[in-house]
Chain A
Amino acid sequence: MDVQEYMKPTPEPTADTQAFWDGLKQGRLLLQKCSSCGKVRHYPRPVCPHCYSMEHHWSEAAGTGTVYSWTISHHAFHPGFKPELPYVLLTVELDEGVRMQAQARGIQASDLKVGLPVKIAFEPATNDLVLPVFEHA
């Protein structure tokens, strides 16, 4: 899809977050892992809140987790989302212990429950942007 036709908000990655978005483009879910104490953190940030180390590397996550909560949006607060109403937004607890948000694919409202196993998929949005989605594991 051409960038000009893409109506939704797009992320503006910084030097701290670029690797996450680059990973999605390669079909990989990359999370920051502290090089000193080994704890995984998300969303990306410069300092490990456990040991204050500023050294980290990007570690590929399994891409699996469980539903922690969700919402089903029936109102578009941005015109770009109007065509896909209603949509399910999942809060997913990843196996690595951090959470992320993504839209659900192929999961019915009646399927939704805390603890539902899900796995990530990668959905191209523009030539330059791949967004995460979750489907039944």
Chain B
Amino acid sequence: MSLNGKAAVTGVGETRYSRQSGKSVQTLQMEASLAAIRDAGLDPKDIDGIIAYGSMAVVAEDFITNFGIPDLRFSAVTPLGGASAVASIQCAAAAVAAGICNHVLIPISRNGSSGAGGRIGSRVREMPQFRLIGEFEMPLGAIAPAQLYAPMARRHMELFGTTSRQLAEIAVSTRHNAILNGNAMMTKPLTVEEHQASRIISDPLRLFDCSLESDGACAFVISSAERARDCAKPVISILGVAEGHPDSPSAITQRPDLTKLGLAKAAPKAFAMAGVRHEDIDVAEIYDCFTYIVLCQLEDLGFCKKGEGGPFVASGAIRIDGTLPINTHGGLLSQAHMAGFNHVVELTRQLRGEAGKAQVKDAGIGLVTGYGDMGDGSVAIMARA
């Protein structure tokens, strides 16, 4: 049995994104979840499945309490960091396809900017899947994702001649899209020269190669194909979905090929399940914790060959008017770091034709990826039914 066509995104919601929400993560997550449920035309009591985010700041029990859900029949956590949102689509699609439940809520919230002790460097240190890094790399000074990922980017540059100016193209086009979106933390245009002048965080990654720290929340609802037809908005059907884990998942240092992510394993499965070709993809939301991670995923997805990501992005292909517009909402680099949940929200809006000034004309088939926890990958291909 394939999951093709068995599930659909029926509702999406988000809060305003900011540096300081002034609200609890519980309040933020309820606000975004209610927005997503209303967007689907559902009542909160219709939710009978919940996939909570791995940080466990808000859990399924909180939704039973706040919404008075009478019979929650499915709860899960997909602990893949930034790959969780899209991996949760696979998990939810499997659950609704099996008839376990009908409407699965998949929410996230964080006070990543203002929260005490919540910034990424300190979050990573406390995560159990990074035990090996904690023992063998952090004492040497490899503390935060920027430092742990930089050797991947450097290796790519040394092997293939990829340049910082090529990475800049990703930051610049993403910023352009954030301004079109309107609900984005970054509101001023960015130039390649400004990117090149920004301070080095961990060479070769500069400040504008790095994503934001954000306060806010977003959520989406995955429903069975059958129940999706009763929802308020056009049905956005899941055609293909997969997750992939890289070799040496917890220690990048020991990974046989430093330029390959878990997504390289997932992508062929998702394309085969969806039965679509690369040239069929009208718009793509690519997880962008760092510019280099976008470039590497474009290769691992097969939009260009391994090593050709630099020329591919420099060609303008990824711009809003290019052949493969990506991160049309401004991504984690310029909209907000919502761990890629905002990528699912944006792809859904694009395929519904609700993306406002950033709407890609005739967007019928789209793709969204997740990336997290040092290399886990996930990808979903969706289409307006």
From A17, A75, A89, contact of B142 by CB (8 A) = A89
Q: Which residues of A contact B205 (CB under 8 A)?
A: 71
| A13-B135, A69-B152, A69-B154 known; A43 vs B251 contact (CB < 8 Å) | yes
Q: Is the CB of B136 within 8 A of A101?
A: yes
Tell me which residues across on chain B come within 8 A of A84, comparing CB atoms: 141
A86 contact set on B, CB distance < 8 A:
200, 203
Shortest CB-to-CB span from B147 to chain A, Å, is: 6
A70–B132 CB distance below 8 A: no
Within the complex, the shortest CB–CB distance from B284 to chain A, in Å, comes to 28
A61: Cβ under 8 A from any B Cβ: no
Q: Are B139 and A114 in contact (CB under 8 A)?
A: no
CA distance A99 to B252 in the complex (A): 10
A105 in the interface, Cβ–Cβ < 8 Å? no
What is the 8 Å Cβ interface bit string for chain A, positions 44-81, against chain B (1 contact, 0 not)? 00000000000000000000000011111111011001
In the complex, the answer to whether B143 meets A71 with C-beta atoms within 8 Å is no
Interface of B is mostly: helix
Distance in Å from the Cβ of B93 to the closest Cβ of chain A? Answer: 31
A42-B254, A91-B253, A99-B254 as given contacts; A73 in contact with B139, CB under 8 Å: no
Total chain B interface residues with beta-carbon distance under 8 A: 34
How many angstroms from the CA of A137 to the CA of B131 in the assembled complex? 31
The residues of B that contact A10 with a CB separation of less than 8 Å are: 139
CB neighbours of B121 from chain A (8 A): 77-78
User: Chain B, 129-149, contact with A by CB distance < 8 Å: what is the 0/1 string?
Assistant: 000101111111111101100
CA distance A77 to B137 in the complex (A): 13
Given contacts A74-B201, A99-B253, contact A11 B136 (CB under 8 A): yes
Contacts A68-B258, A69-B154: A101 and B253 contacting too (C-beta < 8 A)? yes
How far does the Cβ of B41 sit from chain A's closest Cβ, in whole Å? 45
Q: Are B201 and A43 in contact (CB under 8 A)?
A: no
Quick check: is A9 within 8 A (CB to CB) of the other chain? yes
